Amino acid sequence: MELQINQRIQKYHPAVWRALTDLGKRIYLPKGIPLQARQASQCDINATIGQCTDDEGQPMPLPVMADKFKNVDPKDIFLYTPQGGRRDLREAWREHIYQDSSEETVEISLPVVSAGLTHGLSLAGELFVDEQTRVLLPQPRWDNYDLIFGVRGQGHIVDYNVMTDPDTTTKNPCRNVSFNSSGIIETLKEQSQHTRKLFLALNFPSNPVGYTPTQSEIDILVHGVQEIVADWKRRGTKHSLIILLDEAYHGMEWDSNSITSSLFFQLQHIDREYVVVCKVDGATKEMFFFGGRIGFISFATSKETQAAMEEKVIGLMRSTISALSSPSQIVLLKALQSPELYSQQEELRHVLQDRYEVLRETLQKSSLDYWPFNSAFFCLVHCPTDPQKKRLQLIEQGLGVVSIPRTPALRISYSTVPKEKIPNMVDILQRNLL
C-alpha cells in the first residue's frame, strides 16, 4: 500500500527517500473508514462513521458544552474534521505563508495541520531522525529539542553555536557577539565527514536567544549550504541534508535589520538530490492562540511528491492522534478569513514591540551583560555564577526567569511583563547578578 508513494518520492525527491527513517519509509494512510465515509458523503442514509447526528444530520452536543460557543456552527465544533486537518484551513494557511513571498512559484506541499508546533517538529523527527542521523541543534536552544530528537528520535546530537563566542577581554563580552553564520557552515562541513545523513534545525526568530539574522548574515548561511551541496554533487556522494525550519515566532521581529520573511523561500530550490526543506509554523505564537495547539508542517518539494509527503505525515498522525481538535481549527480558520485579522495582529504585536523597546533601552543603560536580541519574546542575560541558584534567588524577590546553565544565562520572557514593570525587573537583575 505504501509502495506507490515511496516510488514517487524515490523518483522525484531522492533526498527525501535517502533521509527517511524506517518508520518514515513504511508509513502510509490506509484507505479505511475515513475514505469510505467521504465516498458516502452524498448518500441519503450515511451509516459509515461512528459519530452521532440527529434526525436532520446535525450534531447532537450536550447543551452544557454547546453553550460555550457562539458565532460558530456546532458542526464545526462537535463533529470530526478530516485526517490531516480541515482542507479549507490548510489552504488558508498556505495563502498566509504565500503573503511572505514575492516569488511567483513556490513549490510547497499543502500544509498539514499538527497539534501545535512541537507536534510539527516531532513529525519531522519521526520522518527523518534515527540513530544514523547527526542532528545539528542550536546552542543555546529550547530544551524540548533534546527530548524530541535525542531521547525519542535517538539522533546523534551535535551542537552548533547560534552566536559567536563572547570576547571575554571586553567589558560586556556578550553584548557584541554576532550571528554565527560561518560557524554553522563549519559545523555542517565537519559533520558531513562523519556521516551521510544530516539534520540541521534552524530556529528564527530564536528561542531562547530572541535573535533573527540580517539578510547579509543569512546570505552567508545560504551560500555556505549551497557550496556544501555542490561539493557533494561534484563528488557524487550519497549525502542527504534535512533542513528543519522552526518558525514558531514568525512575524515577531522588532528590528528592521532582521529578515522578516520565512527562510523557506531562500532555501526551497536547493538541489533535491541532496536536500529536504521542512517548515514548521503555526498559530500558537503567531496568532496568540497558545491554548489552541494548532501548528502546520510543509515541505519544499515538487508537484509530483507533494501529495506523497502529505500522506506520510497524515499516516503518522492517523496512528497517533488521528483527527485534530475541531474547535481550535474553526476558530483559527475564522480568524484567517477575517479582514480584520492582520490589523488586530498588528495591534497585539505593538504591545510586545513596546515592551521590547523599553527592555532594550533599559538594558543598554544598565551594567548587565546581555546577548543581542531583536525578535521573539526573549532576551538572554549573561549569568556567570550558577544560573539555577540565581533563578531561585530571583523567585524570592518576586521575579521569575528561566535558567540556561550551559550558556550560562537567564532567559527573560518579556512577553508576559508589563512595560511599566520592566525598569524594576532590570533593577532586580542588576542587584542580583552584579
Residue 3 in the binding site for a second copy (CB under 8 A): no
Residue 415 makes contact with a second copy by CB under 8 A = yes
Position 424 contacts a second copy (CB under 8 A): yes
Stretch 194-223 residues interacting with a second copy (CB under 8 A): 207
Q: How many whole angstroms from its chain centre is CA 374?
A: 18
**Does residue 63 bind a second copy (CB under 8 A)?**
yes
Nearest CB to a second copy, comparing residues 95 and 420 = 420
Residue 13: φ, ψ to 5°: -150, 70
Q: 19: closest CA among 273, 245, 226?
A: 273
Which of 15, 16, 19, 77 is in the footprint of a second copy by CB under 8 A?
77
For residue 322, the minimal CB distance to a second copy (Å) is 4
Q: Which of 71, 138, 14 is nearest to 404 (CA)?
A: 138
Specify the residue for cell string 482542507.
87
Name the burial class of residue 413, with classes exposed (0-12), middle (13-18) and buried (19+) by CB atoms within 10 angstroms of its CB.
middle
Residue 373 in the binding site for a second copy (CB under 8 A): no
Q: Does 287 bind a second copy (CB under 8 A)?
A: yes
Q: Binding a second copy by CB under 8 A: which of 84, 111, 315, 372? A: 315
Binder among 7, 132, 216, 320 for a second copy (CB under 8 A) = 320
Task: Calculate the CA 63 to chain-centre distance.
Answer: 37
Q: Does 53 bind a second copy (CB under 8 A)?
A: yes
Those residues with Cβ within 8 angstroms of residue 424's Cβ, 6 or more apart along the chain or in another chain: none
Hey, what's the cell of 39? 465516498
**Which residues inside 137-196 make contact with a second copy, applying CB under 8 A?**
142-144, 146-148, 151-152
Q: Does 420 bind a second copy (CB under 8 A)?
A: yes
* Angle separating helix axes 303-318 and 117-128, nearest 10 degrees: 110
Q: Does the footprint of a second copy cover residue 389 (CB under 8 A)?
A: no
Gap between the Cα atoms of 112 and 89, Å rounded: 9
Answer yes or no whether residue 109 interacts with a second copy by CB under 8 A: no
Q: Whose Cβ is closer to a second copy: residue 11's or residue 350's?
A: 350
- Kindly state whether residue 131 participates in binding a second copy, applying the rule CB under 8 A: no
Which of 375, 366, 380, 369 minimizes the C-alpha distance to 411? 380
C-alpha cell at 312: 506520510
Taking the complex as a whole, the smallest distance from the CB of residue 344 to a second copy amounts, in Å, to 5
Asked if 49 interacts with a second copy (CB under 8 A), we say yes
